Structure 1
Amino acid sequence: MKMTARRTAGLLFALLCLPLVLLAAEPQATHEFSLDNGLKVIVREDHRAPVVVSQVWYKVGSSYETPGQTGLSHVLEHMMFKGSAKLGPGEASRILRELGAEENAFTSDDYTAYYQVLARDRLAVALEMEADRMASLRLPPEEFAREIEVIKEERRLRVDDKPNSLAYERFKAIAYPASGYGIPTIGWMADLERLSVEDLRRWYENWYAPNNATLVVVGDVTAEEVKALAERWFGAIPRRALPPAKLPLELAEPGERRLTLHLRTQLPSLLMGFNVPGLATAKEAREAHALRLIAALLDGGYSARLPTRLERGEELVSGASASYDAFKRGDSLFILSATPNVQTGKTLEQVEAGLWAQLEELQQTPPSREELERVRAQVIAGLVYERDSISQQASTIGQLETVGLSWRLMDEELAAIEAVTPADIQQAARRYFKRERLTVAHILPEESRHE
């Protein structure tokens, strides 16, 4: 049914006027148990359609890697589709396609995950295949030789030939001086060039164990069904001793770091990042939730401070953003980015000063309750809409569990966000927006190098 813009705006206004507690849907029935081999299983029932999402999350990603051995987690993710004891290269994907399933995988700095979306009566097929490659992955040298070239080309296309991606990679490398978060998930090209099948075999044997994994199933199933299938397919896989995995902690105040990059870009741009904790490392969870709301205050849509003041008001920038990821295994970054309004002759130095002015205002004056309530309602509404998807429910559960938090935060975070006060916003701004925590990158067009 087509909906007019006026009707959509009216519904959004009505939604934002509701008490926040009414925006939170009732938590779904969620069950947690572990097999004898240490595999954690979380089942969330959602019976609206005969569909199920199955995900296996491993606690390993690029932040587990070390200098000289980068890209391992991502390359292994690719090789997980290249054959196991029961199936040859690509056969699992072919079978799932024929069953009408959607499948894929992803790697980050904190985890590697594999998922299928399929009809509820096909769940056993997905679990059998996941258990098979958890227990008996094949790493054919000829498949590796082909796939590593694919990954190197992926790096060229997605990073080396994309100025914004390349700038962000270099920025992260100095923004995280003490932890593995400075390592790019795809790996440095020099390390990809010297990576071997033996390196991947060791990585697989170190980390791909049931006691280092979480199986998440969301959809039209019951806990009893999933438990029987998990026992059948995963139960016989032995647990293994795991390497130590320490939290990626950062220096609290490493000192101001600055980077200038000349890249193939038409417009200059700016990145600013502050070393801050995530939910897993914050002394008080309220601080992390305050930082989430600060990001929304600055960049939560058309009426947020950055577009209202710096873009349309002062015409200082042609675009600006703020972001913060609270859901990491270790510490995080609060990031601001902006592009100067070159049509009005603005410079990177002026933009940097303008962004600092917005942060200093938060430090000096807490937001009004009205502004905070509006932003809070937008954040909570976004979370509620997001969680209408069974895939997003599964991903949220898997991420929380894999970074060392609990899936229960999913059903508690709306109340935690609602509890943040204007004073909490001001306190977080004062504590974390310091030059001692700051990394700045100025990204300039190549031709400006010679001016």
Structure 2
Amino acid sequence: MVIAGCATAPGQGGQGAWAAAAAVPAAQASQPTPAPQPALLPAQASTVLQESAQLAHYRLANGLEVIVKPDRRAPTAVHMLWVRVGSIDEEDGTSGIAHMLEHMMFKGSAALAPGEFSRRVAELGGQDNAFTNHDYTAYYQQVPASELEVVMALEAERFAHNQWPDEEFTREVEVVKEERRLSIDDQPRAKLYEQLMAATYLASPERRPVIGWMGDIEQYTAEDVRAFYRQWYQPGNAAVVVVGQVQPQQVLRLAERYYGRLAPGALPARKITAEPPQQGLRRIQLHERAEQPVLLMAYKAPPLKNLAQPTAADWDALALMALAGVLSGYDGARLDRALTRGPRRVADQVDASAQLSGRSGNGLFLLSAIPAQGVPMSKLEEALRRSIRGVAEQGVSEAELARVVTQWAASTIYAQDSMFAQAMDLGTDWIEGWPLHANERLLALLRQVTPAQVQAVARRYFSDAALTVAELVPQAAAPASAQGARR
């Protein structure tokens, strides 16, 4: 997603992989001379959390976790580093700083020049990237399996010793500002969703955009980013996920060599503000140059927390996931049939989604739609409300739920064709604190959801007291003569 860079303050975090890089065959790449570093921690035993031929999970002595899934269908490997820090861990006035740090992780380390990390990966015949979310920041490389050791050494180095000059930060601020302009400010639908979240949440940090508000991007400093890095980029707050043509014990030995000696550090207390109960309908409009109007309807809903032993709230969340599938989870689902087809169609496009996971403890059920030509927004909104009422009053069929489960099972199976998708699933499971391979457990639970449970959540969670509505109202461009007059 980004062209980011690297930075670290001397003596912070653990000891870098480059101090042990003599183990990497010199023929693979010439090694830069490492900067002087404090002595490495002595090697210590790791803890086996799970180990089988299909999946292994270890915890190193410094707290970093290692998850390995062998997949021998191709001679490649995906290596990911997951850090449990995202935009919900930011403070007001520094929105987007987690994403900014993701960029700066590519800008240098004690042993790597700006841009060298990605160049080295490309020279191995691999690719790399990174992305930031509300809940996490993740870095990945996909390389020939024979080069796994090299990327583990590189990633451990920048994780432990990220550092860069202020001028690199100054340049990257402009890159991030342009990224925000292109992905949010110039995209009416993205801006509408951003404003929906800001209106839906009054206190929760989910009200802030992951990329940050433009004013915050312009005001936080290089030292602010370095301080954020020192706080959160600790071994006990990270996990390495490897999927590919590898052996778990081989990966564990490499992890112990390059990550295992990184010094542990204390993490700050997480202070995520709880969202107070909503007490009435909220409605916003965005007047923007756009080709089509858009309607978003966000209902507060319970999050899915416990897959091992679901509570009543977890079963409600599972039923809401099933409801989203019944409404729009397959071709010809309820919303598609009722709203986009036939002479009475009111929408060109419609969707339902249940956004019920995340460390914030919040959940949303989101309806989105584009009205058909000439259809008033009020008529479209009423059609969506009527679809929910239909479930609340008449329920859903066993056949509809079976179709949802079939679609979910198929998507889970298809994801196994991609090593990257497998690594993403394992990483997000770890971030959520769910059992690894949570999709399999989730599928088993969805099979148990009944029509009565779906009907019950349709009655319970879709009141105006829990609803925020956002409308994109297209505005015509001003005539060229008028624009000239304003100048």
**TM-score, normalised with respect to structure 2:** 0.83
- Residue 341 of structure 1 corresponds to 372
**Shift in CA distance, 231/433, structure 1 to aligned 2, threshold 3 Å:** same
Counterpart residue identity of residue 414, structure 1: L
* Residue 260 (structure 1) aligned with residue 285 (structure 2): yes
Provide the residue aligned with 2:32 in structure 1. none
Equivalent-residue separation in structure 2 for 1:443 and 1:311 (angstroms): 19
User: What amino acid is aligned across from residue 318 of structure 1 in structure 2?
Assistant: D
1:400 corresponds to 2:400: no
Which residue is equivalent to 1:3? none
| Residues 395 and 254 (structure 1), Cα distance of their counterparts in 2 relative to 1, 3 Å cut | farther
- The equivalent of 2:264 in structure 1 is 239
Deviations 1:62-117 (A, max 9, x none): 11112211110000000000111111111111111011111100001110000011
Report the 3-state secondary structure (helix = DSSP H, G, I; strand = E; otherwise coil) of the residue aligned with 2:356: coil
Higher Rg: 2
Instruction: Give 2:315's match in structure 1, choosing from 274, 282, 286.
Output: 286
Task: Give distance in 2, aligned partners of 1:332 and 1:418.
Answer: 21
Pick one of 321, 324, 337 that aligns with 2:351.
321
Q: What count of residue pairs does the alignment treat as equivalent?
A: 421
Task: For residue 405 of structure 1, report the CA deviation from its aligned partner.
Answer: 2.3
Q: CA deviation at 1:252?
A: 4.2
1:62–1:70 CA contact under 8 A, matched in 2: yes
- The alignment partner of 1:42 has SS state of strand
After superposition, residues 153-232 of structure 1 pair within 5 angstroms as 153-232=178-257
**CA positional deviation for 1:404:** 2.7
Contact map agreement 1:272 1:439 (CA 8 A) in 2: yes
The answer to which of 249-258 and 118-127 deviates more is 249-258
Asked if 1:103 is matched to 2:128, the reply is yes
Q: 1:360 Cα deviation (Å)?
A: 0.9
Matches of 2:418 and 2:452 in 1, distance apart? 34
Answering whether residue 299 of structure 2 is matched by residue 274 of structure 1, we say yes
Q: Per-residue displacement from partner, 1:205-258 (whole Å, max 9, x unpaired)?
A: 010001000111111112110110000001111111111225564334442111
Aligned position for 1:353: 382
Shift of residue 306 of structure 1?
1.1
Which stretch has the larger CA shift, 98-107 or 329-338? Answer: 329-338
Return closer, same or farther for 1:246/1:366 CA change in 2, 3 Å cut-off: farther
Aligned to 2:72: 47
After superposition, give the CA deviation of every residue in 1:233-289 in whole Å (9 maximum; x if it has no partner). 011111111112255643344421110111111322211001112212775432222
How does the TM-score come out when normalised to structure 1?
0.90
Cα root mean square deviation, aligned:
1.8
d(CA) in 2 for partners of 1:323, 1:293: 10
User: C-alpha distance in 1, partners of 2:271/2:326?
Assistant: 33
Alpha-carbon separation, structure 1, partners of 2:276 and 2:312: 15
What is residue 331 of structure 1 aligned with on the other side? 362
Among candidates 138, 141, 146, match of residue 163 of structure 2: 138
Question: What is the distance in 1 between the residues matched to 2:53 and 2:367?
Answer: 36
Task: Tell me the secondary structure at the aligned position of residue 273 of structure 1.
Answer: strand
Identical residues among aligned pairs (%): 43
CA contact (8 A) 2:63 2:235 kept: yes
Question: In the superposition, relative to structure 1, how do residues 427 and 402 fare at CA in structure 2: closer, same or farther (>3 Å)?
Answer: same
Q: 1:53, 1:394 within 8 Å by CA — same for their partners in 2?
A: yes
Answer with 214-223 or 284-293: which moved more.
Answer: 284-293
- After superposition, the Cα gap between the structure-2 partners of 1:28 and 1:319, relative to the gap in structure 1 and judged at 3 Å, is farther
Structure 2 Cα separation of the partners of residues 216 and 39 of structure 1:
11
- More displaced stretch, 204-213 vs 118-127: 118-127
User: Cα deviation per residue 1:18-64 (whole Å; 9 max; x = unaligned)?
Assistant: xxxxxxxxx97111110010001111121222211111101111111
Contact 1:51/1:118 (CA < 8 Å) preserved in 2? Answer: yes
Post-superposition CA distance 1:395-423 (Å, at most 9, x none): 01101111232324233222111111111
Cα distance between partner residues in 2 of 1:379 and 1:37: 37
Correspondence for 1:114: 139
Question: Which of 304, 308, 311 is the matching residue for 2:337?
Answer: 308
Do the aligned residues in 2 keep the contact of 1:83 with 1:90 (CA within 8 Å)? Answer: yes
Secondary structure of the residue aligned to 2:340 is helix
Structure 2: segments with no counterpart, 5+ residues: 1-51, 479-487
The structure carrying a bigger helix percent of its residues is 1
State how far apart, in whole Å, the 2-side matches of 1:406 and 1:327 are: 14
Q: Aligned equivalents of 2:438 and 2:199: distance in 1?
A: 31
Change (3 A) 1:184 1:413: same
SS of equivalent residue, structure 1 residue 235 = coil
- For the residue of structure 2 that corresponds to 1:312, the secondary structure is coil
CA distance in 2, matches of 1:404, 1:432: 26
In the alignment, structure 1 segments of 5+ residues that lack a partner are 1-26
Conserved 8 A contact 1:52-1:117: yes
1:81 aligned residue: 106
The separation in 2 between residues aligned to 1:88 and 1:180, in whole angstroms, is 34
Which one of 152, 158, 174 corresponds to residue 127 of structure 1?
A: 152
2:398 and 2:276 mapped to 1: Cα distance?
A: 34
Q: Deviations over 1:321-352 (max 9, x none)?
A: 1112333222121111111112xx31100111
**8 A contact 2:301–2:461 mirrored in 1:** yes
Give distance in 2, aligned partners of 1:62 and 1:40: 22
